[in-house]
Amino acid sequence: MSSDAPEPEAPASTDDERVSAKLFGEYEIDGIEYADPSTRRYITVTPIAHTMGRHSEKQFKKSEISVVERLINRLMQTDENTGKKQQATRIVRDAFDLVEERTDENPIQVLVTAVENAGPREETVRLKYGGISVPKAVDVAPQRRVDQSLKYIAQGTHNGSFKTTTSAAEALANQLIGASNYDLQAYPVSQKEEQERVAAAAR
């Protein structure tokens, strides 16, 4: 005996039921804005802050790692923090809390803006002409600009917290906020300006 009753339909999934992953379980990774199109493909934002060396064996694949994890790795490149991944992660997480408290903005957006602002566009190389070294200004590749930005932010954090009462998290928050606002007093921006000034003189 056949039944004319319609089969029950599966409930449709709604957007409210989809939970997007967040960095540290707090910060949204969607809607990040990029002001510099040249470095956009080299600034990756993911909700994962520790990939356990997934890209370590692939040359030139570092740009696929989250920019947050790359910042964490940069902070470990000192004598005091070598190999202390959990400590460096905690510093970044606490710094993000301070950035959000002070600016009322997504700290990931602040980091991306800071990296874009602190990347030098020109640098100098040494060319030898008949045994004489001559400085020559050259353009900086976008991937290297991101590398230099992270380097300056990490160095500024170390300088601002070493042998002072300022914590590493607070020093990092100061560097991120200063670089995102293009504050010339911030270490990353001052280093970028100095490098470009030297390059301009070597044109």
Residue 145 phi/psi, 5-degree rounding, is -60, -45
Q: Average pLDDT in the 176-182 region?
A: 95
Provide the CATH number for the domain around residue 82: 1.10.455.10
Q: Which domain holds residue 75?
A: 24-52+60-120+141-185
Q: In whole angstroms, what is the distance from residue 72 CA to residue 91 CA?
A: 8
Q: How far apart are CA 188 and CA 183, in angstroms?
A: 9
Report the chain's C-alpha Rg in angstroms. Answer: 22
pLDDT band, very low/low/confident/very high, at 56 (cuts 50, 70, 90): low
Looking at residue 15, what is its pLDDT? 44
Please determine, for residue 13, whether its predicted confidence score (pLDDT) is greater than 50: no
Q: Which of 35-44, 57-66, 83-92, 126-135 has the lowest mean pLDDT?
A: 57-66
Give the torsion through C-alpha atoms of 183, 185, 188, 194, to 10 deg: 110
Q: Does 187 score more than 60 pLDDT?
A: yes
> At 65, is the pLDDT very low, low, confident or very high (cuts 50, 70, 90)?
confident
Q: Is the pLDDT of residue 49 over 50?
A: yes
Q: How many CB atoms lie within 10 A of CB 156?
A: 24
In a domain, 199, yes or no: no
Q: Within a domain: residue 157? A: yes
Q: Does residue 128 fall inside a structural domain?
A: no
Q: Among 75-89, 92-106, 136-150, which stretch is predicted with the lowest mean pLDDT? A: 75-89
Residue 121: pLDDT band (50, 70, 90) is very high
Give CA separation, 192 vs 133, 151, 154, in Å: 23, 11, 14
Alpha-carbon distance of 151 to 168, in angstroms, equals: 15
Position 101 scores a pLDDT of 94
Global model pTM greater than 0.75: yes
Local confidence band at 18 (pLDDT 50, 70, 90 cut-offs) = very low
Q: How many domains does the chain have?
A: 1
At residue 163, the pLDDT reads 85
Asked, for residue 33, whether it belongs to a domain, the answer is yes
Confidence of residue 112 (pLDDT cuts 50, 70, 90): very high
Average confidence score pLDDT of the chain:
85
> Looking at residue 186, what is its pLDDT?
94
Tell me whether residue 23 is exposed, middle or buried, using C-beta atoms within 10 angstroms of its C-beta: 0 to 12, 13 to 18, 19 or more.
buried
Mean pLDDT confidence for 33-60: 81
Window from 79-88, 106-115, 174-183 with minimum mean pLDDT: 79-88
Q: Does residue 170 surpass a pLDDT of 80?
A: yes
Task: Dump strand ranges (E) for the chain.
Answer: 122-129, 132-139
